[in-house]
Amino acid sequence: MATPILKVGCSLVFTISLLASTLAQSDTYIIHMDRSAMPKAFTDHHNWYLATISSVSDTAKSTFTRTSKHIYTYTSSVQGFSASLTKSELEALKKSPGYISSTRDRKIKVHTTHTSEFLGLSSSSGAWPTANYGEDMIIGLVDTGIWPESESFSDEGMTEVPSRWKGKCEPGTQFNSSMCNKKLIGARYYNKGLLANDPKIKISMNSTRDTDGHGTHTSSTAAGNYVKGASYFGYANGTSSGMAPRARIAMYKAIWRYGVYESDVLAAIDQAIQDGVDILSLSLTVAIEDDFFLEDDTIAIASFAAMEKGVFVAASAGNAGPNYYTLVNGAPWMLTIGAGTIDREFEGVLTLGNGNQISFPTVYPGNYSLSHKPLVFMDGCESVNELKKVKNKIIVCKDNLTFSDQIDNAASARVSGAVFISNHTSPSEFYTRSSFPAVYIGLQDGQRVIDYIKESKDPRGTVVFRKTVTGTKPAPRVDGYSGRGPFASCRSVLKPDLLAPGTLVLASWSPISSVAEVRSHSLFSKFNLLSGTSMATPHVAGVAALIKKAHPDWSPAAIRSALMTTADSLDNTLSPIKDASNNNLPATPIDIGSGHINPNKSLDPGLIYDATAEDYIKLLCAMNYTNKQIQIITRSSHHDCKNRSLDLNYPSFIAYFDSYDSGSKEKVVHKFQRTLTNVGERMSSYTAKLLGMDGIKVSVEPQKLVFKKEHEKLSYTLTLEGPKSLEEDVIHGSLSWVHDGGKYVVRSPIVATSVTP
């Protein structure tokens, strides 16, 4: 039985609560089983798992124990189940027939209108009409739930729900089946894992209803219906809609404000696959240490199952940028999405009595108007008491104090308004969401204000908010928080795959979740502006739905290829996309993958790089994964690993070099083999065009590909020859296959890098 050492650890818990003692000794686990080992006596895997739990149970082998210990049976995502087990039960389970492996149930991290125009979507021509706005495609999201009454989920203009759909609208707190419609066609919720891990939690909204807002935001971004007059307190005012406004939404709520567990997320993905979603949009990740194996990442495993069933998985790269190796969700069978800015900024304008105007970034939502108010320079704004004496004036602060101290002082003194002068060229979103009228300006503009105050007998200022400026340049840029590659667990595939709009995205929100505070009053809104790779991901999920609608027979790899090879590498100034966190210097493919999503072009890519489940298995074999590791990912034991290759047929290239060693004159050669499938014009020829890669010799063989029929496959070899060690972190360039008629450019980024985890 359990070792004495463990008992000591648990006895503390016993004294706190006798009732919870049996649970306190247990931990929850996800257990992988080999279904081919199921004894003939069992008719299904669920009963086999229950019997297995019962056979290892410490306590009386009653039905009560086995059902209370069992949490979920997984059918489509992994082979196995989750359960609450004591150490000794787990040890006994390890000796049971069919047991493969187990992991502790871990916490999951959530990543936290105009975007469709910025992406070039229009109702007169292009991707939307071509794909019929994604009609009938089903996008599943695992998130915080949904606010079904939001206008984004109106089913106006939607056709009947397709008969292939097996999902449900589960009733629960403030949620019944009539809240689903022809737009929101599925709503389910998962919290058994959360409760097993923390039985004391009282869940007040035990249903798919979204008390947070995140899930309402992501699902309306992917497939929300048109809503006129959408705005965040007047900012971003316009008609909002999702990327695929005629696609359908199925919400699987597994993110709770009390915590998120792998066992619940896995149950949600498992069900989504069975229900028949076409696309999965995942804005979350398993929180694990660096350097893990893919078989340790349940989201990656579940996505493998989804991919095999033809479900396209879009996942966020995470918000831990901008350093190398900060990316998550990089399994080669998923599409990994980074976040970019859009060509829209929110501003206020400070007008001085002398007519000078200074604009500044803000999303201040309040109504306090500052018209022709006296301006008073308060140096450091160090004393709250001094600030309190100033009534009905705009204070101006500049000092060594940090930004946040000044803001806190001004807020607690309840000043009418404030101008903060600092050398931050662009204050973070945190500051621009101020709770009182605040102006953030740089040192140069600040000096103009100070000079004016000194020179004028009666210095005054007027501040207006709520200006939305579109067409700002340069855009897009990769934003600082966006997770960067390479992906430590699978370095041979370049990640992230692409960028999509992620910064200050307007979408629907839960009206019971506060969006801002003004003068200690919480504000609520049907729309919210949010930033994160979480926001970028549903954009791609929506566009993937458009592609799948236009090409129902395409594999997830073909859809990914279409998105990647047509992505834009240039911004709206026609220069390379820049990195907002690196002084607006050009970004590399390790930051942005193939570039920024271009929906129009992705519907008709000309050529695609396809890949099958077998190809990913060959990769795992070449990564020296054991049979057991591969079995956990593929849910099948039939792999001999005779064929192995790190060279996946992927639409991008990454090669590793040693870090710089001036003594080394050695040369190395990296070769890549790729196969293109013709999905464009029947008879068409393409010529290779290489760009960049300074200091590395790049060649392509053959340099011309001549296709004679549809779906014909032709192969080529790309060779990089360079010094064994690189002076730079990253050298990059691209290979484009350019259609001889000029109709298509099939572009792949190439990276040579010496960065190590």
Ligand X SMILES: *[C@@H]1O[C@H](CO)[C@@H](O)[C@H](O)[C@H]1NC(C)=O
**Minimal distance, residue 158 CB to ligand X, in Å:** 20
**Minimal distance, residue 561 CB to ligand X, in Å:** 19
Q: Residue 685: phi, psi to the nearest 5?
A: -130, 150
**Minimal distance, residue 365 CB to ligand X, in Å:** 5
| Binders of ligand X in range 122-141 (CB under 6 A) | 122, 125-126
d(CA 716, CA 261) in angstroms, rounded, equals: 44
Angle between helices 613-622 and 627-634 (to 10 degrees): 150
Answer for which of 59, 177, 444, 575 binds ligand X (CB under 6 A) is 177
Answer for which of 259, 276, 366, 692 binds ligand X (CB under 6 A) is 366
Nearer to ligand X, 177 or 412 (CB): 177
Asked if 647 touches ligand X (CB under 6 A), the answer is no
> How far is the CA of 601 from the CAs of 118, 125, 568, in angstroms?
14, 12, 10
d(CA 216, CA 228) in angstroms, rounded, equals: 17
Span interacting with ligand X, options 98-106, 136-144, 176-184, 493-501, rule CB under 6 A: 176-184
Residue 177 falls in the annotated catalytic set: no
Nearest residue to 196 (alpha-carbon basis) of 143, 251, 133, 264: 264
Answer for which of 6, 13, 203, 464 binds ligand X (CB under 6 A) is 203
- The torsion region of residue 706 among left (phi > 0), alpha (psi -120 to 50) and beta comes to beta
Nearer to ligand X, 237 or 725 (CB): 237
Residue 458 falls in the annotated catalytic set: no
Residue 62: burial class (beta carbons within 10 Å; 0-12, 13-18, 19+): exposed
> How far is the CA of 101 from the CAs of 73, 90, 293, 628, 680, in angstroms?
15, 10, 14, 9, 45
What is the separation, in whole angstroms, between the first and last Cα of the chain? 41
- Torsion over CA: 75, 81, 82, 84 (sign): positive
Q: How many CB atoms lie within 10 A of CB 388?
A: 13
Span interacting with ligand X, options 17-25, 173-181, 260-268, 697-705, rule CB under 6 A: 173-181
Nearer to ligand X, 122 or 659 (CB): 122
**Minimal distance, residue 488 CB to ligand X, in Å:** 13
**Site size for ligand X (CB under 6 A):** 28
Nearer to ligand X, 367 or 719 (CB): 367
**Minimal distance, residue 1 CB to ligand X, in Å:** 31
Q: Residue 300: phi, psi to the nearest 5?
A: -65, -40
Check 534, 581, 594, 734 and give the catalytic one.
534
Span interacting with ligand X, options 20-28, 36-44, 226-234, 451-459, rule CB under 6 A: 226-234
DSSP letters for 493-557: S----EEEE-SSEEEE--TTS--EEETTEEE--SEEEE-SHHHHHHHHHHHHHHHHHH-TT--HH
Span interacting with ligand X, options 44-52, 133-141, 175-183, 450-458, rule CB under 6 A: 175-183
Whether the CB-CB separation of 497 and 339 falls below 8 Å is answered with no
Nearer to ligand X, 580 or 693 (CB): 580
Asked if 623 touches ligand X (CB under 6 A), the answer is yes
Comparing every residue's Cβ against ligand X, the nearest one is 120
Q: How many residues in total does the chain contain?
A: 757
Looking up tokens 């994160």, which residue turns up?
532
Span interacting with ligand X, options 34-42, 91-99, 170-178, 293-301, rule CB under 6 A: 170-178
Answer for which of 55, 112, 181, 206 binds ligand X (CB under 6 A) is 206
How far from chain centre, in Å, is Cα 252?
A: 16
The first and second tokens of residue 372, run together, are 């022709």
Nearer to ligand X, 447 or 456 (CB): 447
Asked if 442 touches ligand X (CB under 6 A), the answer is no
| Binders of ligand X in range 547-606 (CB under 6 A) | 598, 600
> How far is the CA of 148 from the CAs of 238, 391, 745, in angstroms?
21, 45, 42
Asked if 428 touches ligand X (CB under 6 A), the answer is no
Residue 274: burial class (beta carbons within 10 Å; 0-12, 13-18, 19+): middle
Asked if 404 touches ligand X (CB under 6 A), the answer is no
Check 34, 136, 143, 579 and give the catalytic one.
143
Residue 712: burial class (beta carbons within 10 Å; 0-12, 13-18, 19+): middle
Q: How many helices (H) and strands (E) does the chain have?
A: 21, 40
**Minimal distance, residue 56 CB to ligand X, in Å:** 25
State the amino acid at position 210 in one-letter form.
Answer: D
DSSP lists the bridge partners of residue 716 as 674
| Binders of ligand X in range 10-39 (CB under 6 A) | none
DSSP lists the bridge partners of residue 529 as 506
Check 111, 114, 214, 551 and give the catalytic one.
214
Map residues 85-124 to x or -, x wherever contact with ligand X holds by CB under 6 A: -----------------------------------x-x--
The first and second tokens of residue 552, run together, are 């129902």
Beta pairing, strands 704-707 & 684-692: antiparallel
Nearer to ligand X, 534 or 600 (CB): 600
Answer for which of 43, 583, 624, 662 binds ligand X (CB under 6 A) is 624
d(CA 705, CA 33) in angstroms, rounded, equals: 46
Asked if 353 touches ligand X (CB under 6 A), the answer is no
Answer for which of 423, 428, 522, 699 binds ligand X (CB under 6 A) is 423
Answer for which of 15, 63, 163, 178 binds ligand X (CB under 6 A) is 178
**Minimal distance, residue 554 CB to ligand X, in Å:** 20
Asked if 514 touches ligand X (CB under 6 A), the answer is no
Asked if 401 touches ligand X (CB under 6 A), the answer is no
Span interacting with ligand X, options 172-180, 536-544, 674-682, 704-712, rule CB under 6 A: 172-180
Asked if 374 touches ligand X (CB under 6 A), the answer is no
d(CA 498, CA 541) in angstroms, rounded, equals: 12
Strands (E), 417-459: 417-421, 438-441
Looking up tokens 């969700």, which residue turns up?
329
Nearer to ligand X, 33 or 544 (CB): 544
Asked if 425 touches ligand X (CB under 6 A), the answer is no
Nearer to ligand X, 428 or 699 (CB): 428
**Minimal distance, residue 9 CB to ligand X, in Å:** 28
Asked if 319 touches ligand X (CB under 6 A), the answer is no
DSSP letters for 13-30: HHHH-STTHHHHT-EEEE
Asked whether the bond before 476 is cis by omega within 30 degrees of 0, the reply is yes
Residue 290 falls in the annotated catalytic set: no
Q: Active-site residue numbers?
A: 143, 214, 534
By CB under 6 A, name the binding residues for ligand X. 120, 122, 125-126, 172, 176-178, 203, 206, 229, 231, 234, 237, 365-367, 399-400, 423, 518, 523, 598, 600, 623-624, 642-643
